[in-house]
Amino acid sequence: MRAELVSVGTELLLGEITDTNATYISQQLADIGVDVYFRHTVGDNLGRIVQVLQGAMRRCDVIIICGGLGPTQDDLTREAVAEVTGRPLQRVPAAEQRVREFFAQRRRVPSESNLKQCMVPKGGRLLDNNCGTAPGLLVEHNDTVLIAVPGPPPEMRTMLDSDVLPYLRDHVAAAEGGVLFTRTLRLSDIGESTVADELADIISQQTDPTIALYASPAEVRIRLATKATDEAAAYQRLSKVEEQIRARLGSHIYGVDDETMPVAVGNALREAGKTLAIAESCTGGLIASRITDIPGASDYFLAGYVVYSNAAKTRLLGVSEEVIAQYGAVSEECAKAMAEGARRDSGADYALATTGIAGPTGGTPEKPVGTIFIAVADDKGTICEHFCWPGEREQFKARVAQMALNVLRKRIVGE
Amino acid sequence: MRAELVSVGTELLLGEITDTNATYISQQLADIGVDVYFRHTVGDNLGRIVQVLQGAMRRCDVIIICGGLGPTQDDLTREAVAEVTGRPLQRVPAAEQRVREFFAQRRRVPSESNLKQCMVPKGGRLLDNNCGTAPGLLVEHNDTVLIAVPGPPPEMRTMLDSDVLPYLRDHVAAAEGGVLFTRTLRLSDIGESTVADELADIISQQTDPTIALYASPAEVRIRLATKATDEAAAYQRLSKVEEQIRARLGSHIYGVDDETMPVAVGNALREAGKTLAIAESCTGGLIASRITDIPGASDYFLAGYVVYSNAAKTRLLGVSEEVIAQYGAVSEECAKAMAEGARRDSGADYALATTGIAGPTGGTPEKPVGTIFIAVADDKGTICEHFCWPGEREQFKARVAQMALNVLRKRIVGE
């Protein structure tokens, strides 16, 4: 099944916001086996939205439109769908009733623009919005399905997950005799080209499940996908290939599906019943922020120290001035002393420490920009790993955060 | 001048990466007065790239293509530009010479696919790539300019800034008798609709410079733009409107153009010759990470404490167990004690502290999800501000980080 996505909003074309909705929708469609052939972005202009939709209707089976469903004059998605399908907008009485009750409770009367949100092209239906005011739209027109979801990311995601994806999954199953089942293996300490080389024969022989490789900072993902009507049969096929891959690269696989590195670290700590402290120099708090992005991190994360200055390394973590003078703040000795100091000061079971040179300045011939030391202290002692990965400042921080969490994870699980 | 952007890459359509390149290019084009009417994303498929380019050539003056310039068989942008312009690919001897020298130094011979990168459609030119191997392309064809830049963000940005934008600026100046000059005013502590109301008469009467409003977490931006041939005249016009706006909203304007909140805080600290420590509970290290995203932050940033647990608040910052027992960890008293503890422990002049309830769980009727206390301690005492802004976990952290830095900034500059 072929799909196109249309993101609506002048603020996107001005680069005022990044279109993360398009990423999310693309991922979700890939996961259920809907192929996205094109994405388009268009401003709040009726003629141009209609132009994009007309083009897409000639090419594909499903069009997902994101944005332009609000109550203002700039919100034109509803009108555009009505125009390209030739279906007049009609009020949905049940939706109108809900809006009138909502306003009555607040002793107000809804305006015409509020009631505009209760309208749907004839023959279509509204999709409930459980975390905002703008309902979505779904119109089956000839051989094309047009679906519109609101632009605010939480509203879009909720509506996609609860209504749109189940609908499309059924649609795919009916049209193609099966839906897509996937498994993603997450790998660390290995590059994409090495993975490709190691699995070259498996990848070239494999047709079902399909195997695809993706890379992001300090991570490679292997995505297995198979189309099936029967879930058990699908997962059996996926597991068979997963086993083949694990036989070769198992030591690199740290997580499956949504188990990102901060989740994997959290799971390892929770299973071991252990706690964590983090001491960061060059990553500047990013590792702690990643760890605390995971709900429930307070179960295992005790404390973070952002010790950017040498004085702070000494004052907060007791790193001796001699160590810094003799070896430098970017050194194995300093990283280890930071980890040991953070463990001592916080009382955590594990302490992770990073120190390095993010750049753009501060590099030397012996320690160029990109130099990084990662130390972990626990009750068995203190280890340190050393890498050099120059890159843009924010990229460098992201990569080091991922690598550091992996060094920690391996220590916890005893790899 | 009308432009369309084409992002090339199957990984984009699979949602494997977010298209931040499109955001950056859109911003830069808006800044020089090039209007982006449509953006498109297409996979690594020659027929479909050609199809998108043909559509764009019928509609616009400039097409910027991002991605698909590498050496592999999947990289098809070069071929697509050749096909839609009917101009055969030709090797550029100077570029071929550079590639051969590059390989000779490494005692290797370039393959045909490496030499593919030295080819340009007849009559076009290559754009140098100063931080990667893939050169860009620029082809003036009939009334349309086709420009291709590489997909890796640092390579794209460098080429855009050094080659493409200067070219387009001249192009705009020649075509429209002037280029766009802009000034962006950054506001805090005020909502977008209030700004719109306060400036309603100015905005409605104003035609040159134009005035546009944009909102992001805890920030509103006002963008003034004017087209001119003469830079001095342009900035005079911008300054006149800026003065009118400052007369009404000056107390909310914290920065101009690229002076984001972490930059504004850093500038304020550097000017005052003061240092900073940060104690974070609910923001989990994000504020320290934002501060350390700015090169040179080590001039003023001493230390960060991520005190996620109550025990850490007591142990690292000396927050008394009585304060936590009596008022709770999310309270004015605790926020103030955290700021005072961080200031004392680090020896910094200013200490900023956050404590709140990010959710999704942990809310109570008195302190619902979204409750946040922000405290600043300095030599004059300790202040605390209290807000409630529920939102998704990562959104909440981003908004609180911005608001907290603003509370700090106001304290430093004495607002």
B49 to chain A, minimum CA–CA distance in Å? 10
Q: Is the pLDDT of residue A177 over 80?
A: no
- Give the rounded percent of residues in chain A with a pLDDT score beyond 70: 100
What is the pLDDT of chain B when averaged over all its residues? 91
Percentage of chain B beyond pLDDT 70 is 100
The whole-number average pLDDT for the span B320-342 is 97
Q: What is the ipTM of this complex?
A: 0.74
Task: Grade residue A153 by pLDDT with cuts at 50, 70 and 90.
Answer: confident
Distance from CA of B200 to the nearest CA of A (A): 17
Residue A273 has pLDDT above 80, yes or no: yes
Q: How close does chain A come to B17, measured CA to CA in Å? A: 7
| pLDDT given for residue A65 in this prediction | 98
pLDDT at B263 over 90: yes
Asked if A286's CB is within 8 angstroms of B308's CB, the reply is no
- Per-residue pLDDT averaged across A11-16, rounded? 88
How far is B309 from B350, CA to CA, in rounded Å? 23
Three-state DSSP string of chain A? CEEEEEEECHHHHCCCCCCHHHHHHHHHHHHCCCEEEEEEEECCCHHHHHHHHHHHHHHCCEEEEECCCCCCCCCCHHHHHHHHHCCCEEECHHHHHHHHHHHHHCCCCCCHHHHHCCEEECCCEEECCCCCCCCEEEEEECCEEEEEECCCHHHHHHHHHHHHHHHHHHHHHHHHCCEEEEEEEEECCCCHHHHHHHCHHHHHHCCCCEEEEEEECCEEEEEEEEEECCHHHHHHHHHHHHHHHHHHHHHHEEEECCCCHHHHHHHHHHHHCCCEEEEECCCCCHHHHHHHCCCCHHHCEEEEEEECCHHHHHHHHCCCHHHHHHHCCCCHHHHHHHHHHHHHHHCCCEEEEEEECCCCCCCCCCCCCCEEEEEEEECCEEEEEEEECCCCHHHHHHHHHHHHHHHHHHHHHCC
Residue A39 near chain B (CB below 8 Å): yes
**A267 pLDDT more than 90:** yes
Are A41 and B39 in contact (CB < 8 Å)?
A: yes
Higher pLDDT, B74 or B341: B341
pLDDT at position A252: 94
Which position has the higher pLDDT, A151 or B112? A151
Q: Which of B8, B13, B263, B399 to mutate to test the interface with A (most CBs of A within 10 A)?
A: B13
Q: Which residues of B touch A155 (CB under 8 A)?
A: none
Q: Best-predicted range by mean pLDDT among A126-140, B122-136, B321-335, B392-406?
A: B321-335
Looking at residue A191, its pLDDT comes to: 80
Residue A328: what pLDDT? 94
pLDDT at residue B66 above 90?
yes
Give B318 to chain A, closest Cα distance, Å: 12
**Tell me: the pLDDT tens digits for B69-112?**
987 777 899 999 999 999 999 999 988 888 888 778 777 788 77
Contact B48 A38 (CB under 8 A): yes
From A254-268, B190-204, B349-363, the region with the lowest mean pLDDT: B190-204
| pLDDT for B300 | 96
**Whether residue A395 has pLDDT greater than 80:** no
At residue B182, the pLDDT reads 87
Share of chain B above pLDDT 90, in %: 64
Smallest Cβ distance to B347: which of A315, A394, A397? A315
The arithmetic mean of pLDDT across residues A217-232, rounded, is 87
In tens, the pLDDT along B32-50 reads: 889 999 999 999 999 999 9
pLDDT on residue A323 = 96
Q: What is the mean pLDDT of residues B14-22?
A: 88
A41 touches chain B (CB under 8 A): yes
Tens of pLDDT, residues B177-232: 777 888 999 999 888 778 888 998 998 888 889 888 777 778 888 989 888 888 89
Residue B394 has pLDDT above 80, yes or no: no
B257-262: average pLDDT: 93
Residue B314 in this model has a pLDDT that exceeds 90? yes
A200-212 mean pLDDT: 86
With a cut of 90, say whether residue B376 has pLDDT above it. yes
> Domains in chain B, start-ordered, CATH in brackets?
2-176 (3.40.980.10), 181-256 (3.30.70.2860), 261-413 (3.90.950.20)
pLDDT at A277 over 90: yes
Q: What pLDDT is attached to residue A333?
A: 97
**Above 90 in pLDDT, residue A179?**
no
- pLDDT tens digit sequence for A27-64: 999 888 899 999 999 999 999 999 999 999 999 999 99
